[in-house]
Amino acid sequence: MTEATLRQQALADGIFKRRESTDSDNTTQSMASEDVSMKKDRGQSYGKTPDGAVFRVPTTREMVTSLLNPKEQKSFFDILTLAIMAIEIALLFILPLWIKRGLFIVIFSFWRLAYNAGLGVLLKYQSDSRGLVRLAKQYKLFDREANPKAYNWLKYQLSMKMGDDYDFTTAPIEYNTWLLYRQLVDLILMNDFTSYMCFAVAWFNTSPQSSFIFGDSFRWFGGLFLVGFNIWVKIDAQRVVKDFAWYWGDFFFLIEQSLTFDGVFEMAPHPMYSVGYFGYYGVSLMCASYTVLFISIAAHALQFAFLVLVETPHIEKTYNPPIIPKRQPSTPSQTSDVDCKRSEKHEDTGRFYTSYFRRDLMVFKNFDLCRSTDLVSLMVMIYAFITPILVPGKSGIVIALSQAFFWRIFHSYGLGTLLRLQSTEKFFTRHFVKWGGGVQEAFQNWKSIYNLSLCMTYITFFVACWKMYSLPEDWTYGTTLLRHTLGVAFISLHIWTSTSIHEVLGDFGWFYGDFFLDDHPSTLLYTGIYRFLNNPEKIMGHAAFWGMTLMANSWTIYALALFSQISNFLFLHYVEAPHMRMLYGNQIRKEAGLTKTLKSAAVSIPKNIPDKLQQEVSKLIREKAELKAAVKTTKNMERIFKEAIEKVERAVEETAGAVGEMMEAARPRLQEVLDETKALLETSRSRLIPNVANDIGTYDLTLYSVNIRNKSATKSSQANGPTYTFQLGQPVEVSWTAPEYHGARDWIGVYKVTANQSTHITNISSRGLWDWTNSVENKGGASIEDQLFPPDTPIKTEGVVVFKGSKLPWDIGTYEFRYHHDGKHNVMARSTVFDIIAPTPADIHNIGAVERSLLQLIQNTLGGNPDLMPVSSTDEFVGMGETESRHVVYAIELMYDVEFAWEVVLADNCISRLAKRIQHAKEALSPFADQTQKRLSLSHGMLAGCATSIVPSMTSETPVSCGL
């Protein structure tokens, strides 16, 4: 089943808070303007379409119940779904084993791809351009006058599954499109589940090999537990998210309702995509089949891909849109003595991070071969890795195990003692203060020591496992393949856990900054992975060690892993926990989300079990004789099941005529939809692989033009025509003309003149350096693509497009503009070539001139946006990201021949500091001859100063010394 798991997770982590505070407020204001109350009325909620229309959301029925309940009236979509399910089940019983095994792998793969790839493409299309709703409008599926047959048929089919509060005629097209889309979802999801179960039964291993006592019993118990847990997760998730989120309703419209995200959504991140698929592994255990296991892993991986590629971008765009920062206006009290103005909180945070964190080595991230600590760390790691491997026999094993134990003792107990002393009496800081240092020096050295120790614990443990590991001769023997599979899974879990921890804690928490730094705000927030676990490092943070242990399969390594786990637990209990209590006190919660959910489930699940079922279970437990009766009952159930299949087959045969008639009625419309989908795919393909339009020869290319119109640009004449020259980052205005019949999706891109071999086809990507011609607002406004190309938009025959900021190429060279036809890569016109050159550098000794040149550069980098760009050298940067920072450092290198990392621009955060940094860098990088000249100049200046002092001293009684 599906869900909107990220929507629920987002609420817990603060994304939905913005939805409630912004989107809901806007929705409420809109509804208030229309005199519509947003309060619930008898459990009803209100929805809002993208164009602002407000409607009462009708109640939907639960899909599985209505589909499988024989008393419920069945729509065409229900019959189609049941028929395909019946065919799959029939194939399971009819076909021989060797055929159905391969067949059901193909069938399940088809339905799984239909889910993750098919539904994913449709949802992405709907999310990006409201494509499904546009298709419904284009083919007038819900227009009675234009398409009465489709209208009446869809009205009957959709209304059949709805209640009295649903009116097909008055419901918005977004809601009706969503209902129609749900039918496809039900078809795919039900057959995805059915085909998986058939596949698992076909691959069921009737003679598994167990290498330990009670192996089969544990396997079945674990499998049934995982399946039961999976069922509970699905049921609880359905309780929380309801049908709206279950069927991705917010891809079509937004809904206003009170949502309480508890239960499974407090237990695990993305529960319907993570723990919600534990049933796969339960079935794999019971089937005792590696084929079932690996295909289940592949299917689970596809689900995560669906989450990352489809769900996450839509949720970020819908509920957590990027906040456009606003530049604070300058105040009259601003003086030249102020380096950079900022709010007090921002100032403290910025100064804190720029002072204590600068590209620190974190495992191997930010490694710098020219940094002494990094180089020494690398040499120690290589030595520890190579030495045991080069030493043969038992001596190498002893060395590997000894250094693994040593580094674990050093990391957990040595550094643990140091941190304990640092927490109680600032031991480490006092040492550096004693020798003239301070907090910053102490923390910098601690980060290097901690990172080296952390890396060495992993490297030495891996080397020990490698020395004890032997490549299996038979991967199918015993648990060999299972051990390696679980080992890789545990290592992957460890990597994900560490990444998630760093996302929440940042560099400050990763390096135990609160043991050293007092000027950091001490606020405890339970977000991300910490929402579910109080301390994920206790178990999940050690998963990689157990993964390597499983693959090594050595009792010595098991002992080493257990020692490491216990040591880590002691470190957390006696070092980290007391310091946390000292700093945060009552802010520390007692129960994590996982613990609270499991306790709640342990209480609620028994209460929800029907009394009759409890009595039957108790009777089975008390009376062993009932177990034998259960076996007979199972055989009777098989007979009843076969009879039910026969009845379903007869029902399908009897309704074949009716189904055929309905298919005949729907076939023309379905064919049109397929044709449209094919056309859309071809259009998408043409954006990647340019194709010449079949009728391109009918266009008069002389009616198209694209010209540069900047008055401030430097213009020169060459043999092949005029050439314009622009400094790097300088905006470029382009005027264009086209006939009235030109395409609504015409666009202009900028390319290097040597990039495309053909003058008629553009065969390389524009890399985002393009814009639509028929935009709603040519200068910085929303393009016609963002407005979904409404049919009533007037098609202009001329206009101006301004390329600036990230739309410009930030690389010196010779370029041209190309006018393209209707969303394709056919070139209708080309501009004159123009050069982009390096900006003119200011005198490095004139700090004011340097600041003015940087101000112009950064204003151009930010596209001249008045809300973002600084207006003086003391304004801090707003809206400056990695891309913009890379543009700035590239321009600085061209202007002043000084290379900076892009992080430096963000760290300085204002022009005055950046200008001083450039000036200091130029002085530091000056040739030695220049340094000698500077010293001579300085000496002459000192002598001259002394001379002027000596003259008046001749008439004075007080002698003057020059110190020469």
pLDDT digits (tens, 9 = 90+) for 862-874: 888 888 888 888 8
Confidence band of 522 (pLDDT split at 50, 70, 90): low
Q: What is the mean pLDDT of residues 742-757?
A: 87
* Mode of pairing for the β-strands spanning 45-48 and 254-256: antiparallel
Number of neighbours of residue 146 by Cβ within 10 angstroms: 11
Sign of CA pseudo-dihedral 136, 139, 144, 147: negative
Angle at 867 between CA 865 and CA 869, to 5 degrees: 60
Nearest CA to 677 among 154, 126, 135, 178? 135
Q: 104 near 92, Cβ under 8 Å?
A: yes
Distances 893 to 210, 763, 854, 897, 909 between C-alpha atoms, Å: 66, 31, 12, 4, 18
Q: Report which of 183, 292, 300, 290 is spatially closest to residue 230, judged by C-alpha positions.
A: 300
| pLDDT value of position 712 | 63
**Average pLDDT over every residue of 577-586:** 80
**CB under 8 Å, gap of 24 or more: what pairs does 87-96 form?**
88/191, 88/194, 88/195, 88/198, 89/194, 89/198, 89/645, 90/645, 90/649, 91/198, 92/198, 92/201, 92/202, 93/642, 93/645
Question: What is residue 303's predicted lDDT score, i.e. its pLDDT?
Answer: 92
Give pLDDT tens digits for 498-508. 888 878 777 88
- Is the predicted pLDDT of residue 682 greater than 50, yes or no? no
pLDDT tier at 46, thresholds 50, 70, 90: confident
Which residue, 578, 573, 548, 579, is CA-closest to 561?
548
Residues 253-263 pLDDT 10s: 888 755 555 66
Average pLDDT over residues 617-635: 51
* Number of residues written out for the chain: 964
pLDDT at 866: 83
CA distance 179 to 168: 10
Q: What is the mean pLDDT of residues 135-147?
A: 87
Which whole number is the average pLDDT over 648-655?
50
Instruction: Give the H or E element holding residue 158.
Output: helix 148-159
285-327: pLDDT as tens digits: 899 888 999 999 999 999 999 998 998 888 888 877 666 666 6
What is the distance between the alpha carbons of residues 62 and 1, in angstroms, rounded to a whole number? Answer: 13
Distance CA 62, CA 42 (A): 19
AA identity, residue 189: L
Specify the DSSP class assigned to residue 363.
Answer: T
Of 218-227, 234-243, 319-328, 386-395, the least confident: 319-328
What's the pLDDT band for 607 if we cut at 50, 70, 90? Answer: low
* pLDDT band at 116; cut points 50, 70, 90: very high
Q: What is the pLDDT at residue 655?
A: 46
Lowest-pLDDT choice from 8-17, 618-627, 799-808:
8-17
Q: Is this prediction's pTM over 0.75? A: no
The mean predicted confidence, pLDDT, of the chain is 76
* pLDDT confidence of residue 341: 46
20-36: pLDDT as tens digits: 333 333 433 333 333 33
Whether residue 346 is predicted with pLDDT greater than 50 in this model: the reply is no
DSSP state of 826: B
Amino acid of residue 627: L
d(CA 839, CA 714): 13
534-553 pLDDT, tens digit per residue, is: 677 777 778 899 999 999 98
Which strands, in side-by-side order, build the sheet including 798-803? Answer: 705-708, 732-737, 798-803
Q: Residue 409: is its pLDDT beyond 60?
A: yes
Q: Which of 108-112, 506-510, 524-528, 563-567 has the lowest mean pLDDT?
A: 524-528
Q: Which of 300, 198, 177 is nearest to 249 (CA)?
A: 177
